[in-house]
Amino acid sequence: MLNNQKKLSDYLKSLSDLLSGTEFSANPERLEQVLHAELLVPVIGAFSAGKSTVLNGLIGKEVLPVGIAPETELATELRYSPESYLLAVKKNGEEERHSIEALKEINKKPGDYSHLRLFIDSPALKEVAPLVLVDMPGYGSSLENHNKALAYYLPKGVHFIVVTSIEDGNITRAMIRQIEDVKVYGGDFTFLLSKSNLRASGQVDEVRRYVNEQLETYFDAKYQAISVGNQDAQPVIDAIKSIDPESLFSGIFLPALKNENTDLLDSFTLAMNVIRRDGRESEKALRDLEKAMNRLLDQKADAEQ
């Protein structure tokens, strides 16, 4: 468990205990969300950009299907496990367990499944945990499958890895729009320039300079393209390890918790004001009643004389 995850869960438990027995309550679902939150990092790019090849290089095994036609039709989450297997998640949430050899065949059935979870005994995946990489369908895949995956993972992704092939020579307008969508959802990204081993170093430097100019023009100068060869996993590992999971986790929940706390404090303030007002009104009523009783006593005394 992350440090910030433990801090937030401890805070929410304490808050629940504090409010127990009162008319106030915190969001009952928030604690479960904090305890079971995942840090999903979708890997996006056009078909043939080299996403699956880059991830295979990271994993250290040729597990994800690659080819001259779109091979990734279902978003595939990559998770470390000492035992390798595949979970195919149906649209109703049910899971089917398969061997990892079934991945290519199941990937051809996007109508039957929502997404896939691939568990692999890979030291690199263990090293980058708790980040969960997601191999996404590319722009050249079925538009329906591509849009379905984006609709599911855009709001859930905490950081995105954008992959463009050095053979493209630039960032396409379609890719820029995709990155803009990531920014709209409050996400950030790392940019990889794949297949750099297919070009001479001078050509790689030239393309990277132009891509960096585009990144600065459309986004910010802090974004710099990272050149990656097909079998060169270390730059990818270094890029992923530079992503801070603690701050990502806080970014998911702190804004919502601050808003909820503000609402709770507003409720406290309103309740206190009502109590004070009722108290003042009660004191005035008692004084009026006392005066009325005194008048009645005076009237009774006069009547008795």
**For a pLDDT cut of 70, what percent of the chain falls above it?**
84
CATH fold of 38-243, please?
Rossmann fold (3.40.50)
Cα–Cα distance, 134 to 140 (Å, whole number): 17
- The answer on pLDDT for 68 being more than 60 is no
176-233 confidence digits (pLDDT tens): 988 998 998 888 999 999 999 889 999 999 999 999 999 999 999 899 999 998 777 8
Residue 65's pLDDT is 80
100-123: average pLDDT: 89
The neighbour count for residue 85, using CB atoms within 10 Å, is 14
Residue 289's pLDDT is 53
For residue 137, what is the DSSP state?
P
For 303, half-sphere exposure in the C-beta direction (CA atoms, 13 angstrom radius) is: 6
Q: Quick one: which of 241, 171, 242, 177 has its CA closest to 212?
A: 171
Confidence of residue 147 (pLDDT cuts 50, 70, 90): confident
Residue 288's pLDDT is 57
Residue 284's pLDDT is 66
pTM: predicted TM-score of the whole model, two decimal places: 0.82
Confidence of residue 296 (pLDDT cuts 50, 70, 90): very low
Cα–Cα distance, 116 to 96 (Å, whole number): 10
